[in-house]
Structure 1
């Protein structure tokens, strides 16, 4: 398998290698963003869920572990709580838009690599008189690897984006519920 990959890379053009390196960097980036943001969001959600449970069950004040408490400094002013909600969600969703950007650009980068690979293949074949399908097919299939890599990266980026957006929504729900309770308590 490694021999096959090394053989492919040794026969590839500089553009194809550049495209594959860029897509590899994209893949590393999306996994880093996903893992970092997921762990961060899960921690925030657990704290906000505990705080909401405490607020609804015992009727006490908001938990000091809550991001809403830290931001509002214990204030129950509707405007301050709303500003804190916006600030917390803005911070919680930081970096997620990069997943969307990567999911939309990765297939085009892969397609660019494929087009260049096919153009180079046809340039090689232009010197030969007759070229059969058995000669063209392997060259085109090698060029299609870039498109497959772009789609592969985009699938992960889009999936991770959707998971994190859902987590931000869940966090927002807990924060809004706490803010409404605090405002109602006055």
Structure 2
């Protein structure tokens, strides 16, 4: 199928919408895979750091995100400094989630826009043909609905990936907060 055949079957608007949604889909999958791997590595690292702290060590492990966010700051590990480090770690961990949310909410509308424009163009062409029967209209509307389907196909994974990654960030936040709690808790001998 060459470009002219594709343009004759689908209008320019539908092609632009389908290309746009295809790019969205590729970026959604890439964002998810990349962020998932980064968050999994961070989660495993922070679990180990928490275990080190719970084993009785009073110092923050160097490979903890809390400690790495405080590099170059010559201050004692106070609760406000640890909170700053936690906030920075969570900010860094949520990179990409806004994009997934935007795609999840806009992709169906982009697809619907393509469908509406295609149906309008189809009806304008069919209006000039006095023999517009269901056999003529059905294939045109069927082609027009492809854009809506593509929008939904893009939005569903984006929404699901967004929720999944938010859960991973929540788990990371929990491990970091537990480390802070261990570090600031008064040491008592039982």
Q: Structure 2 matches for 1:13-162, cutoff 5 A?
A: 13-73=11-71, 75-162=76-163
CA positional deviation for 1:89: 0.3
**2:176 alignment partner in structure 1:** 175
Contact residue 8 and residue 142 of structure 1 kept, 8 A: no
* Cα displacement (A) at 1:11: 1.1
**Maintained 8 Å contact 1:96/1:164:** yes
Give the alignment's Cα RMSD to 1 decimal: 2.0
Question: Matched residue of 1:30: which SS?
Answer: helix
Aligned residues: 184
Partner deviation per Cα, 1:133-182 (whole Å, 9 max, x = no partner): 11101100100000000000000100110111011000000000001111
Structure 1 residues 152 and 9: alpha-carbon distance in aligned structure 2, compared to 1, 3 A threshold: farther
Query: After TM superposition, where is structure 1 displaced by more than 4 Å over at least 4 residues in a row?
Result: 6-10
Query: Could you list the runs of 5+ residues in structure 2 that have no partner in the other structure?
Result: none
Rounded to whole Å, the distance in 1 between the matches of 2:138 and 2:125 is 13
Offset at residue 185 of structure 1 (A):
4.2
Question: Which has the larger helix fraction?
Answer: 1
Please say which of residues 102-111 and 53-62 is displaced more in the overlay: 53-62
1:44-75 C-alpha deviation (Å, 9 max, x unpaired): 11111100011112334222111112223584
- Offset of 1:9 from its aligned partner? 5.3
Cα distance between partner residues in 2 of 1:9 and 1:35: 33
Unaligned ranges ≥5, structure 1:
none
Q: Within 2, Cα distance between the matches of 1:70 and 1:127?
A: 69
Distance 1:116 1:93 in 2: 36
TM-score by length of 1: 0.92
